[in-house]
Amino acid sequence: MRNNPREILLGLHRRHVKAWEGRNLDEMRVLYAPEAVVFCTEPPARFSDFKTFENNLIQHFMRMQEVTFLTSNIQIEVVENLAWVSSLYLRAFRRNGSVIRESGRWTEVYLRGENEDWQLVHFHASNDPEPEA
């Protein structure tokens, strides 16, 4: 079971979530491929490489305190050297003294390189729509 791709990918997913929760750019640099494509709710944009995304994350992370992330309903699919992990997420954080809670969808696409390591090549997170009043 030690080389089971699904276990490895679950571990990578958990590291990725923990990196977001800890606002740990060093860990993200390890997980993301330099050419990773990122679609994120916040900061709101599409980023065609990790470096551009990282520059925006620095600003985003500075506005947040006490972040917690939980993912659930984790689905992992592997097809040869390509894999994707999808989940639901709950996020809570403080901004300007207020607690903000969000839920949404989270998808990671990984590619296994020649050295057998998996790298995150695509990430997409989207908040659920706000409930109507």
Quick one: which of 88, 23, 33, 29 has its CA closest to 60? 23
Q: Mean of the per-residue pLDDT values for the chain? A: 88
Q: What is the pLDDT of residue 1?
A: 47
pTM: 0.86
pLDDT value, residue 43: 59
* Domains of the chain from N-terminus onward: 5-127 (3.10.450.50)
Name the strand (E) or helix (H) holding 57: helix 50-62
* Residue pLDDT, tens place only, 32-80: 999 999 887 665 577 888 888 888 887 777 777 788 889 999 999 999 9
CB 107 within 8 A of CB 124: yes
